[in-house]
Amino acid sequence: MSKPTLSFVDKVIAFVKGGDEAKLARFQKKYVKANLKQISIRQDEIDTIQEKLDDLAEKSAEDLIAVNFDSIATSELTEQYIEKYRIRQLNNLRATDEFDEKINELKEEIEEYKALNEQVK
């Protein structure tokens, strides 16, 4: 059976820990700073997506409230409006699901960067 190989990060950490304290401290500082920058970038992405979700929810509410009564003047027009509204709502639901999935991915990445920071402490 072959011995499990270390990841690149594990190899770098092992190398640095074998060196002097000044080198280790310098590496830890730069490494943690780089990871914190990545965390910040992902948090900004989450905030942007959250704004898009809020805008989508607001637009959905406005669509429901802002019915043009001429567009539902007859039964036929009402049915057409309902179908258009249903399609918009389904599209909004799909977009919301995609945004939620992306937010979850970004949160997982943030947790991974936090775990990497813990490895060097």
pLDDT of residue 2: 43
Which pTM was predicted?
Answer: 0.73
Spatial distance between the Cα atoms of 48 and 17, rounded to a whole number of angstroms: 38
Q: How many domains does the chain have?
A: 1
> From CA 76, how far away is CA 84, in angstroms rounded?
13
Q: What is d(CA 68, CA 59) in angstroms, rounded to the nearest whole number?
A: 15
Residue 3 lies in a domain: no
> Residue 79: pLDDT above 50?
yes
pLDDT tens-digit profile of 18-70? 667 777 788 889 999 999 999 999 999 999 999 999 999 998 888 777 777 88
**In contact, 49 and 97? CB cutoff 8 Å:** no
pLDDT at 112: 95
* pLDDT averaged over every residue in the chain: 86
Is 17's pLDDT higher than 90? no
- Can you tell me the mean pLDDT for 8-17? 69
Predicted confidence at residue 12, as pLDDT, reads 72
| 4 falls within a domain | no
Cα 96 from Cα 91, distance rounded (Å): 9
SS3 category, 93:
helix
Q: Is residue 16, in this structure, part of any structural domain at all?
A: yes
| Residue 36 contacts residue 117 (beta carbons within 8 Å) | yes
Per-residue pLDDT at 1 = 38
Q: How confident is the model at residue 16 (pLDDT cuts 50, 70, 90)?
A: low
Determine the angle formed by the axes of helices 75-119 and 8-17, rounding to 10 degrees.
30
Instruction: Provide the pLDDT confidence category of residue 98 given band limits of 50, 70 and 90.
Output: very high
Domain hosting 37: range is 9-119
Residues near 103 by Cβ (< 8 Å), separated by ≥ 6? 46, 49, 50
Could you tell me if residue 114 is inside a domain?
Answer: yes
